[in-house]
Structure 1
């Protein structure tokens, strides 16, 4: 396989995905697709890993490597998204530079205990 990461623009009309990059990005957020930043001429965009995409889309991109299954997978499957460290790393990687700077400043000033206290207060 030559390529494993795709932008919403590249995924338009692939498999069951629609023609709108905004709709693809919305679906990616709702389904918690694995993503990373791609820096390009027009700024920063997200690109999604092929393993997160629907089977029909995987099949259209690489038919030999991702043949369509006879049936859909079970509703609950264990994935890398269940690992809290991986989820945190993905979230941090997706932060804007100014958001990341604010987080680091907060942690430098108040530490992890301060962050946990803030989270605890917000969940009450």
Structure 2
């Protein structure tokens, strides 16, 4: 459930509103924001209903309550990665890769990768 009531302290950090709780309370009185005494707090703690706040404040508060999008990446089969990478090559590059694999095989590819790692100083 979305939050509907906001304290002066909550609102004082929003750009475009007064930066102090006193300033928020003064603005709320002048503009007639719907308010209530904050429950569970001693003193004159007041909170304001979102529907009575200025539009830019409502938009900010609603957007800040939204959950960030969650992206899920399905596991990719190694064969899919190989095929996808191969298909992105130009025709002449595909021919070179096929000729190299036929000539040197997968062991040759492994040796080539290991040599590149040593050359780059990346011995992982």
TM bracket (short chain): 0.3 to 0.5
Highest RCO, 1 vs 2 (Cα 8 Å, sep ≥ 6):
1
Q: Normalized against structure 2, the TM-score is what?
A: 0.46
Q: Which has the higher helix share?
A: 2
Q: Normalized against structure 1, the TM-score is what?
A: 0.46
Larger Rg: 2
